[in-house]
Structure 1
Amino acid sequence: MGYRVAIVGATGEVGRAFLKVLEERNFPVDELYLFASERSEGIELTFKGERIKVQALNKVSSFSGIDIALFSAGSSISKEYAPKFASDGAVVIDNSSAWRLDPEVPLVVPEVNPEDVKEHKGIIANPNCSTIQMLVALKPIYDAVGISHIVVSTYQSVSGAGAKAIRELEEQVKAWCEGKEMPEAKNLPKRIAFNVIPQIDVFTENGYTKEEMKMLNETRKMLHDPEIRVSATCVRVPVFYGHSEAISVKLKGELSPEEAREILKKAKGVVVVDDPEERAYPIAIEVAGRDEVFVGRITRDLAFEPGLSMWVVADNIRKGAATNAVQIAELLHQYALV
């Protein structure tokens, strides 16, 4: 049995990744519908050798007959159109921040809280990319001995800010290589080439950015643990694909780095690359295009007792967005929820 699947935001970075991941994972698609803004209307994209035309979302009045809708078109579009798709019978899996903290909407990472999909009422939220990879790495440790505090610093690639940010980095580097004046920042707060920017999203009243607060709030929701403490510093770096994170955790019970390493080697969706003497640790350029979360530099933390530190890297467009959403669709199929 196959499904009638829609992709909303089909021409964006994540939208195009949806196509690749659906094909690579051989998700049972009978019919595929592609939606985007009017300026993308008529563009043809390829799925399993078939050319499919993109439709203008705002020109479609009914979405009945669609089983699953994968959204990556921004919060405002999700707020307007996700309920329309859901009321017409589709299950929406939304990659924006629009529904993540809605108490009526499950927020799901299949390796972390798969059973939560069973609570859906037509919309399921895909978490923030940085939260996804952090929790895939930490959930096995959390289950083993418990975690009370998380301190994380992220090093996030420009693709997390979309195709325009990718082009901005390309243009700045090209100008520098040609000895020309680098163009001013348009899509990021500061010039990104040969720089790091300690701001992702806007600042909130407490001085943290919305991106940093997402990591706290989404972690609490998915772990069903309102007491866990998370302090995040989110930084944009001049990398095209792949987010990296330096994580320290305070544990509720004793666990050695060796024991943690063995637990993570057995964890679903995790690849341990941890042999510093051989310079073996995850790096962004080597995990780009992969669906797993890579963990290395697992050590006893020097601030928290008991505690652990680790280095976690994943492809933000794939596991941080498209792959996680398709994995949620696979759960819907597995549990016969659609």
Structure 2
Amino acid sequence: MTPKPTLAVVGATGAVGSVMLQMLTHHADVWGEIRLLASPRPSGLPPALDATRAGGSRTASVRGEECEILALSEEALEGVDVALFLVPDEVAARWAPIAATKGAVVVDTSAAFRADPDVPLVVPETNAHAARVRPRGIVASPGCTTLALIVAVGSLHAEFGLDELVVTAQQAASGAGAGQDGAEALRAQLGLVAGHDDLGTHPGDVRRAVGENTGPFPGPLALNVLPWSGTPGADGASSEEERVRDETRRILALPALRVAATCVRVPVVTGHSVSVHARFERPVPLDRAHEILATSPGVVLYDDPAAGDFPTPADVVGTDPAWVGRVRRSMDDERALDFFVCADNLRKGAALNALQIAESVVATL
């Protein structure tokens, strides 16, 4: 009997890593050894709960067993068949190629390789075939905002041909910073503003209450929204907005697709939401759009506003699918639809998509 493949989870102690360990416990048992690895945090960030700090090791539960968390090293990557990288860009950029040279197929959730033409960018529900050709031994998973919308958009594109996409993403705090930094910063800010009944009645009072405790955000997020996410890009766009455009084009194989994206950070702990305006090459009957979305893998259609049925981050957190609602004709244009999508950015937005890629890869080994 062929032994089951060895899986390495690199970044097992982060927010996405914790979700990944839960998923491995409940998904089909296709793995032999599961090796948990962690790396030091970049300097200047809060101390990591990982095995590379002085003072010993940690353990974590996976498949009902306590496993030691090992420091990321070349030795720890020996004998690994598939390596899931759930780490910041700089860690992935250094270590993913090393894992690949040792024979592992790397599935990386960072942005380090998403634009590399020799690294396929994969969403299994949409372009699973792309993972079969991997010249560098690495498969990239898109960003959490792209993953929130792409399965729904891709299913409609397959029938009607996508021509133009305009999206506004409301990004949760847990999508910012490394590990749990964003979520922890929001919780700290909410504590600072609690009990101030007059906040929001005078200019700058929220900012004064939060002070310097903004964490990975460019300003206070509690009781506020921030129309900026990422780093400066070209023509006034942010890096997050450019990623949504570039990743959507790559996944759908539409290099000239017109995409306008605005990313807004909102005071939600977990769960990205995206308001979508999609225009297609052919007319889109509304009942047919509902039918496609209702039957697409990875999508749940939840669309009865009169009954109060539409997706919100508070409702979808902890679930795997992309939830779609508010599907409607756009400005009397028979070729355009508007709809609203919500997804857990730590699950389908990161851990689940990577695990789906890994499971599809291992089926071919």
Q: TM-score, normalised by structure 1?
A: 0.95
Which digits, 9 at most, give the CA deviation of each residue in 1:218-241, with x for residues without a partner? 111111111211100001100011
Residues 1:175 and 2:192 are matched in the alignment: yes
Cα distance, 1:313 vs structure 2: 0.6
**Distance (Å, rounded) in 2 between the aligned partners of 1:85 and 1:325:** 16
**Distance (Å, rounded) in 2 between the aligned partners of 1:154 and 1:129:** 10
Residues 1:50 and 2:79 are matched in the alignment: no
Cα distance, 1:62 vs structure 2: 5.7
* Match in the other structure for 1:315: 344
**Correspondences of 1:121-132 after superposition (within 5 Å):** 121=135, 122-132=137-147
* Match in the other structure for 1:278: 307
* Match in the other structure for 1:155: 170
* Match in the other structure for 1:36: 38
For structure 1, list consecutive stretches of 5 or more residues without a partner in the other structure.
Answer: none
* Match in the other structure for 1:99: 113
Q: 1:110 aligns with which of 78, 101, 124?
A: 124
* Match in the other structure for 1:221: 250
SS in 2 for 1:233: strand
- The aligned amino acid for 1:76 is E
Q: 1:120 aligns with which of 134, 140, 144?
A: 134
Q: 1:255 aligns with which of 276, 280, 284?
A: 284
SS in 2 for 1:191: coil
Cα distance, 1:133 vs structure 2: 2.0
**Distance (Å, rounded) in 2 between the aligned partners of 1:186 and 1:288:** 23
Residues 1:75 and 2:93 are matched in the alignment: no
* Match in the other structure for 2:104: 90
2:284–2:334 contact (8 Å) kept in structure 1: no
The number of aligned residues is 335
SS in 1 for 2:120: coil
1:27–1:330 contact (8 Å) kept in structure 2: no
Q: 2:317 aligns with which of 288, 298, 306?
A: 288
2:148–2:273 contact (8 Å) kept in structure 1: no
Q: 2:355 aligns with which of 322, 326, 331?
A: 326
Q: TM-score, normalised by structure 2?
A: 0.89
Against the structure 1 CA distance between its residues 213 and 27, is the aligned structure 2 distance closer, same or farther, given a 3 Å change threshold?
A: farther
Which digits, 9 at most, give the CA deviation of each residue in 1:289-337, with x for residues without a partner? 1111110000001175520000011001000000000000111133x1x
**Distance (Å, rounded) in 2 between the aligned partners of 1:305 and 1:249:** 11
Which digits, 9 at most, give the CA deviation of each residue in 1:76-135, with x for residues without a partner? 111111011001010000000000110000100001101001111310000011111211
- The aligned amino acid for 2:188 is E
- The aligned amino acid for 1:29 is W
Cα distance, 1:178 vs structure 2: 4.4
**Distance (Å, rounded) in 2 between the aligned partners of 1:27 and 1:206:** 47
**Correspondences of 1:222-241 after superposition (within 5 Å):** 222-241=251-270
Against the structure 1 CA distance between its residues 27 and 194, is the aligned structure 2 distance closer, same or farther, given a 3 Å change threshold?
A: farther
Q: 1:17 aligns with which of 3, 16, 19?
A: 19
Q: 2:161 aligns with which of 121, 133, 146?
A: 146
- The aligned amino acid for 1:109 is V
1:296–1:311 contact (8 Å) kept in structure 2: yes
**Distance (Å, rounded) in 1 between the aligned partners of 2:215 and 2:173:** 13
1:154–1:246 contact (8 Å) kept in structure 2: yes
Against the structure 1 CA distance between its residues 115 and 220, is the aligned structure 2 distance closer, same or farther, given a 3 Å change threshold?
A: same
Which digits, 9 at most, give the CA deviation of each residue in 1:154-201, with x for residues without a partner? 001011114111111111112222459435212211111011011110
**Identical pairs, percent:** 37
- The aligned amino acid for 1:297 is R
- The aligned amino acid for 2:37 is F
2:302–2:323 contact (8 Å) kept in structure 1: yes
1:157–1:236 contact (8 Å) kept in structure 2: yes
SS in 2 for 1:113: helix
2:70–2:76 contact (8 Å) kept in structure 1: no
